[in-house]
Structure 1
């Protein structure tokens, strides 16, 4: 609830402090007295875009402060929390406009942006009038208004939509990746085929390399060792030493023991030579290899190393790579299975969403009929019984809040084409339509302060009384501020302000006065009779107040 409004040096206002009450607050005064200035000031402190030049002539700056009561659970608290501003039981908004056009704002003594002010204003104040493009005339909000009227819980369908879209998004992701998966599957199949055919074993590379080096080394030295063996054998040194030994033994008897020592040495040499021959012979036998085996060893070694380079791993890691690739191939198979599962899940979620959307459409259509009936009931006392209000529920694209588009339309005369409220209705008719709509939509405990700017313009008598009583009905559960020229409306107010213009020392100012009971009688009498207030007018004013 708006509790206080303090204005200093704004337009025609010098100093002004207003204390508003609950229920219906009325502002009256002659045309041009400055009633609209109060709305300009309130809009300024709420961050609305309005007049560019607000500072009173001759002042350095203008300032507006608005004080709101903020009970627990008020929607404005969410905005304050998001902005990092502490919320108490009282909300104080202050905005300053300097003469050179600079604007600054504070919320509970914390600097704040116009964006935060406007977000707060949407949860604090609702303006209704000919230029109500922020409220009931905005087609984008009609579905929300109808849903609120019907008391619909949109939580289940929002969840159903969210779950369905999440699954569809995952399906789309898997489908986009299908080509890549097919390419990878082909690569894995080929790579596994190569690995399975080669069948690499742990530490095989080192073993093959050692065997290859051994065979290559044997190939290089075997000829020399074989020649050495031949040189040591019977056809070489051994044969020559045996011949020498036989020759010396034949001559030893005649050499008088002079050949004994050489024969003994030669015998020892033959023994050593035999050992050397045996060792070299064994070496030659060990160096025996099949050249084809060397080719096979080199071929496998090169194949292992080439495959390792291809996969950018060490040759000894090829055996583990095969297991890893098998896991990846299995995961790809799981992705295909996952896609099938998701598609089945999406079908089920789509059916769930469709059932909720159909039920929601039926509820909206039923609520639309109820709202149209409520509007017909409200329009008749407002002298608009010939007008036809229709809530149109038409198909729209699927979304988190169903598949319906809602629009409030009106035909002011039977047989006339229906259209949007602000396109069909005239100024006075539009005001009454908006009032009837607001009364029909009201659900009680409204957290908003509702402002009606000359919503009774162009009506009088019983119609004005009907307007006033509907405003008073709204004010039972919410604070209502109305700028009015109608004495029937003013008489129903719980709090009454009079706006007047004065000229002092050549300076024009607007002043606002809260009226006591007698002053209120005089103001309503003025509204009834004009400048000359008669006793008859006062009596009529008292009668109006009493009838309220």
Structure 2
């Protein structure tokens, strides 16, 4: 609930501190005394859009501080946590400053915040009801949520079914698009795969073929040199070395060992010469080729390079490209079966959503009948027994909250056409409709403060008394702040403040005073009698206060 409101240098308020209590809080005063300024100041600290400039003339800045008590589990804690604001359970302090230059700055628990965070938090703290209640009950966009709250229904299953339906439709749409794209290139893919399958290039083959080609192209010149070397080794060097070894062996007996080392070296040389000769012979055999072989090799090498250029890839990547192309062809070939499976999933998701939405519609229609009956019971004491309130449920656009369009309508007189609340009802009727609707829709709203701004305008006597009783009943479940000109409503308050204005040094200032029991008699008597308060008015005031 709203515990206190401190205002400094806002419009015609210089200094004002207001401490509110639980139950029904009443603000009264002459027209123009500044009651609406209090609501403007509260709306300012809550981040609501209102007057552009609030700074009192001559002041450097205007400031408003609001302190709220929040019970455990209040929705406001989640918003504070999301904004990264630490909040001790039980108290939240909002502060907002409006500089003379128009700049606005806000804090929550001394943490700088944006106006958006203030507005999000305010939705969990305050409900404002009045003839311009476009934030609440008069806004048709919120009627479905209000009906759901009254019915205590859970749209969760419908939201889940909607998500599943959306995902299934998205998967089908994506698959269709992919298949359409694939089918556009189907002829190209089939031709490319056929070419690649026929050629069957292997990783690294292009480099191997290129090296073999270069070797074959220079083979004649290389082979001639290698053949001459082979002749020199096999016919000249080896024969001479063997002759020398034979001669040395013949003389070794008489050399007394002087030739042993030389003969050993020649034996080793003959072994090395034999290995060299074998290597040269192996090279010669490797250089033997058929000219037709070179032609076939070049044909394959050029075919691999041409395909690589055609597909703008490296030759070694041709195999991967072929595999990917086969995969796309397989997707095309199996696309019809895949689409049929996805279409079945969409059909099932549509049916599941339709079932959940239909069940929610039935629950809403049942709740609509109960709400209409409850409204009829509430309107009678408010002297509107001939008015008809109806909750209309029409088929709307399907969405995560179902497929129902919910609108609260009224017909103020028998036979008159029904229409939207704010277009059919007069000022006084509208106030009573809103109050009755709020009484019927009042649920478990821990920590919520409801503000009614002159909701009793245009009514008096027994009707005003009925309005007061219903406000008092609401205040038994939540804190209620009402700005009123009705003595019958004011008499029902648990806490009463009088707003007045005065002129000091040529400046108009507004102030708020807490009324004692005796002061309340005088204030309600003034509301009954006007400028001249009589004893009869005082007696009537005492009777109202009971």
Give the TM-score band, short-chain normalised.
Answer: 0.7 to 0.9
- Shift of residue 102, structure 1, vs aligned partner: 3.1
- Shift of residue 320, structure 1, vs aligned partner: 6.0
- Shift of residue 134, structure 1, vs aligned partner: 1.2
Distance 2:319 2:452 in 1: 82
Distance 1:65 1:94 in 2: 4
CA contact (8 A) 2:71 2:446 kept: no
- Residue aligned with 1:56, SS: coil
Larger Rg: 1
Q: Taking structure 1 as reference, are residues 137 and 295 closer, same or farther at Cα in structure 2, changes over 3 Å only? A: same
Residue 244 of structure 2 aligns with which residue? none
Residue 537 of structure 1 aligns with which residue? 537
- Shift of residue 185, structure 1, vs aligned partner: 4.1
- Shift of residue 343, structure 1, vs aligned partner: 1.7
Q: Are positions 1:497 and 2:497 aligned together?
A: yes
Q: Taking structure 1 as reference, are residues 198 and 369 closer, same or farther at Cα in structure 2, changes over 3 Å only? A: same
Q: Are positions 1:8 and 2:8 aligned together?
A: yes
1:93-113 CA-partner distances (Å, limit 9, x unpaired): 122223343332222222222
RMSD: 3.2
Distance 2:349 2:151 in 1: 26
Q: Are positions 1:194 and 2:220 aligned together?
A: no
Residue 356 of structure 1 aligns with which residue? 356
1:404-458 CA-partner distances (Å, limit 9, x unpaired): 1111111111111211111111111111111111111111335421111111122
Q: Taking structure 1 as reference, are residues 327 and 507 closer, same or farther at Cα in structure 2, changes over 3 Å only? A: closer
More off after superposition, 511-520 vs 285-294:
285-294
Q: Are positions 1:404 and 2:404 aligned together?
A: yes
- Shift of residue 492, structure 1, vs aligned partner: 1.2
Q: Are positions 1:157 and 2:155 aligned together?
A: no
Distance 2:15 2:208 in 1: 101
Structure 1: gaps (5+ residues)? 224-282
Q: Count how many residue pairs are aligned between Structure 1 and Structure 2.
A: 491
CA contact (8 A) 2:95 2:107 kept: yes
Q: How does 1:254-333 map to 2 (within 5 A)?
A: 295-312=295-312, 315=315, 318=318, 322-323=322-323, 325-330=325-330
Distance 1:122 1:509 in 2: 31
- Shift of residue 66, structure 1, vs aligned partner: 1.0
Distance 2:287 2:50 in 1: 105
1:203-253 CA-partner distances (Å, limit 9, x unpaired): 665676677667766789999xxxxxxxxxxxxxxxxxxxxxxxxxxxxxx
Distance 1:97 1:149 in 2: 39
Q: Taking structure 1 as reference, are residues 469 and 305 closer, same or farther at Cα in structure 2, changes over 3 Å only? A: same
Q: Taking structure 1 as reference, are residues 291 and 130 closer, same or farther at Cα in structure 2, changes over 3 Å only? A: same
- Shift of residue 535, structure 1, vs aligned partner: 4.3
- Residue aligned with 1:133, SS: coil
Distance 1:17 1:316 in 2: 83
Residue 442 of structure 1 aligns with which residue? 442
Distance 1:482 1:384 in 2: 22
- Shift of residue 24, structure 1, vs aligned partner: 0.6
Q: Are positions 1:62 and 2:62 aligned together?
A: yes
- Residue aligned with 1:123, SS: coil
Distance 1:209 1:30 in 2: 104
- Shift of residue 80, structure 1, vs aligned partner: 2.0
Q: Taking structure 1 as reference, are residues 435 and 287 closer, same or farther at Cα in structure 2, changes over 3 Å only? A: closer
More off after superposition, 428-437 vs 493-502:
493-502
1:489-528 CA-partner distances (Å, limit 9, x unpaired): 1121111111222334443322211112222233223323
Residue 85 of structure 1 aligns with which residue? 85
Q: Taking structure 1 as reference, are residues 216 and 58 closer, same or farther at Cα in structure 2, changes over 3 Å only? A: closer
CA contact (8 A) 2:498 2:515 kept: yes
Residue 418 of structure 1 aligns with which residue? 418
More off after superposition, 472-481 vs 521-530:
521-530
TM-score if structure 1 supplies the norm length? 0.81
Structure 2: gaps (5+ residues)? 225-282
Q: How does 1:237-252 map to 2 (within 5 A)?
A: none
Residue 116 of structure 1 aligns with which residue? 117
- Shift of residue 193, structure 1, vs aligned partner: 1.1
1:10-32 CA-partner distances (Å, limit 9, x unpaired): 22222211110011101112223
Residue 41 of structure 2 aligns with which residue? 41
Distance 1:476 1:486 in 2: 20
- Residue aligned with 2:124, SS: helix
1:308-331 CA-partner distances (Å, limit 9, x unpaired): 443455556655654454445445
More off after superposition, 410-419 vs 192-201:
192-201
- Residue aligned with 2:123, SS: helix
1:449-485 CA-partner distances (Å, limit 9, x unpaired): 1111111122122111110111111111111001112
- Residue aligned with 2:363, SS: helix
Distance 1:90 1:285 in 2: 98
1:368-387 CA-partner distances (Å, limit 9, x unpaired): 11111111111111111111
Residue 132 of structure 1 aligns with which residue? 133
More off after superposition, 322-331 vs 365-374:
322-331
Distance 1:336 1:414 in 2: 61
More off after superposition, 118-127 vs 532-541:
532-541
Distance 2:210 2:63 in 1: 92
- Residue aligned with 1:469, SS: helix
